[in-house]
Structure 1
């Protein structure tokens, strides 16, 4: 099965942007940094430029992820996924399988979220990732094991959490102000309570186990993305 046929199992509408089509894209449609990446015809140079962008945005926060991508990124391609530009990452896992990850176009219209005024409380490192690198970065087939797009951030208030009845200790987060930016597709989230998120403080939330409070948001996200890249 070729790459496009594989991807179309998970996306009804997906297409690759050719080098010729790239030149006709209106400047405001994709970030200038993306254009600099994809106008490069040498595959190695293209990958290096994209890794350099990751380093500029989140070198400290996602150091293990970046290190793995640097060594195992096979290809990067500009795609249109259901009408939206995105970057398709082809990454080699530890067992030499090619895994496809998607990075959405940076979202500077962050007030599209239901968070509205509360967005000002989100740690700036998270705002920077979504606004300058990707509106979500995740395993393409499952749309999980990564940072979800802003439009798919889990607003804890709107979900029913059965685990609440089984908590061994009082709840330490406010569900009304808690948002899950990372999910692994198996009922586990890295969530931020906007009323208590200094120093990137987050909660590791499980649908069927006790939560872990006051974890470092980026430490957990970096570790889990790496696990997915290695052996998703």
Structure 2
């Protein structure tokens, strides 16, 4: 895809008529204010060699979630064709271009761990969230998802669903007495974009315990958070 065609495509999904996408050339990265992006991003994305950039970005993933997201990392290693610094207004992210086995290029956005939190309730509870999840958000990406739909991935901090904020009709089917999570301590970190979430109830999150919560179907309890996220991420790529 030519650069202008790519920008036109990306601009369809900014969710704002005022904001536009720009892709920052390696030579221009040093002009970005020092504290706006991680120092490691700055060094990696100044690289002109794509293979080296990709390898170094994936090394960040390996450092923090090598076991938890091994399938995702393996897929990216085989099918990631570029990583670029993307600006949407004054927000910086890494744009991942993934060419899947069918030859289709998929764009994923890896949000900036230095971004402002912008989620008051979650910020209040952040220290109670399992360590590995916090580590991903604080060191790798504060959200990683399919760019056009903003789903099939780990939600950005501002979009993580706090279950207590919503009325869930499915509870009538389940019966409130049968509910095994507490909405007041439950967050949906992963969304498939169709009303299903991988939820962490921080009061019951030992061993990365998670729930598959749906607005339409009965929940599945006692799943491993990373197993589900890693599997679903790869399904999204394919």
Range into which the TM-score falls when normalised by the shorter chain: over 0.9
Answer yes or no: is 1:201 the counterpart of 2:201: no
Map residues 26-105 of structure 1 onto 2, 5 A cutoff. 26-105=33-112
Aligned-partner Cα distance in 2 for 1:172–1:90: 39
Answer yes or no: is 1:177 the counterpart of 2:180: no
Indicate how the Cα distance of structure 1 residues 126 and 113 shifts in structure 2: closer, same or farther if over 3 A, else same: farther
Identify which of 1, 6, 9 aligns with 1:3: 6
Answer yes or no: is 1:22 the counterpart of 2:22: no
Contact 2:187 2:200 in 1 (8 A): yes
Deviation (angstroms), 1:20? 2.4
Once the two structures are superposed, residues 10-51 of structure 1 have per-residue CA deviations (whole angstroms, 9 ceiling, x without a partner) of: 124211111222121222111011112111111111111111
Aligned-partner Cα distance in 1 for 2:126–2:10: 33
Contact 1:107 1:130 in 2 (8 A): no
Aligned-partner Cα distance in 2 for 1:136–1:93: 21
* 69-78 or 107-116: bigger deviation: 107-116
> Secondary structure in 2 aligned to 1:213?
strand
> Secondary structure in 2 aligned to 1:185?
coil
> Secondary structure in 1 aligned to 2:204?
coil
Contact 1:153 1:180 in 2 (8 A): yes
Tell me the TM-score normalised to structure 1 length: 0.95
Once the two structures are superposed, residues 173-207 of structure 1 have per-residue CA deviations (whole angstroms, 9 ceiling, x without a partner) of: 00111000000001110001111111110100111
Map residues 147-166 of structure 1 onto 2, 5 A cutoff. 147-166=154-173
Tell me the TM-score normalised to structure 2 length: 0.92
> Secondary structure in 2 aligned to 1:172?
coil
Deviation (angstroms), 1:107? 4.2
Answer yes or no: is 1:220 the counterpart of 2:204: no
Deviation (angstroms), 1:93? 1.6
Aligned-partner Cα distance in 2 for 1:13–1:116: 28
> Which residue in the other structure is 1:210 paired with?
218
Deviation (angstroms), 1:109? 5.5
Aligned-partner Cα distance in 2 for 1:28–1:140: 24
* 102-111 or 41-50: bigger deviation: 102-111
Q: How many residues align?
A: 230
Q: Unpaired segments of 5 or more residues in structure 2? A: none
> Which residue in the other structure is 1:137 paired with?
144
